[in-house]
Amino acid sequence: MKKKKTLTIIVQAGIIAAVYVALTYVSALLGLASGVIQVRISEALCVLPLFTPAAVPGLFIGCALANLLTGSLPLDILFGSLATLAGALGAYGIRRGVYTTKKTHTARFLKVLTPFPNLLANMLIVPWVLRWVYGVPDAIWFSTLTVGAGELIAGVGLGLVLLFALERHAGQIFGRTFAS
């Protein structure tokens, strides 16, 4: 049984990574995947740690691969992926609160907070990457606002739509990992 659960998590992480890369490519085709203003559709997936622990490594690997394949510089690949990992771990922490609380209204409130660790991680890390890796001359505060705006659109807006769309069928989609 343990081997089956491990295999399930590996497969789910791989699928999440692949979807992240594909959605980042769509964003790149639209000119939205990189730069000071980024609206990566793939950031909506950062709510998935609420449903499966496999999303944490899946998002990290997906972001690293997407950055590598879209031509990011090595330090951006590293720190951008670490920002996504930090956000995914934060979302996973919220998951623990959602499924341990007995109060329905508290659980619903916590679910709405799920995309915010990723928003914060990207707002804290990406502006510095833009400045030090790419030499973007904008003030850090300005880059923080523009990165935050993109994350609000893709990560929070689209992410919450995805979260509530998946919520009803999460057990069927993610299997036993949903309840673990």
* Predicted pLDDT at 33: 81
- Is pLDDT at 175 greater than 80 in this prediction? no
Q: What percentage of the chain reaches a pLDDT higher than 70?
A: 97
Tokens linked to 150: 């993109």
Residue 1 pLDDT level (bands cut at 50, 70, 90): low
pLDDT tens-digit series, residues 24-55: 999 999 988 877 788 999 999 999 999 999 99
* Predicted pLDDT at 112: 96
Burial class (CB in 10 A: 0-12, 13-18, 19+), 100: exposed
pLDDT tens-digit series, residues 122-137: 999 999 999 999 999 9
pLDDT tens-digit series, residues 52-78: 999 999 999 999 999 999 999 999 999
Residue 177 pLDDT level (bands cut at 50, 70, 90): low
Average predicted confidence (pLDDT) for the chain: 92
- Is pLDDT at 102 greater than 90 in this prediction? no
| Contact status, residue 23 vs residue 69, Cβ threshold 8 Å | no
- Is pLDDT at 120 greater than 60 in this prediction? yes
Percentages (nearest 5) of helix, strand, coil residues in the chain: 80, 0, 20
Task: Name the maximum alpha-carbon separation found in the chain.
Answer: 54
CA pair distance 154, 162, nearest whole angstrom: 10
* Predicted pLDDT at 180: 41
* Predicted pLDDT at 176: 56
Question: What's the mean pLDDT in 104-124?
Answer: 95
| Contact status, residue 131 vs residue 143, Cβ threshold 8 Å | yes
**Higher-scoring residue by pLDDT: 89, 105:** 89
DSSP letter for each residue of 61-117: HHHHHHHHHTT--HHHHHHHHHHHHHHHHHHHHHHHHHHH---HHHHHHHHHHTTHH
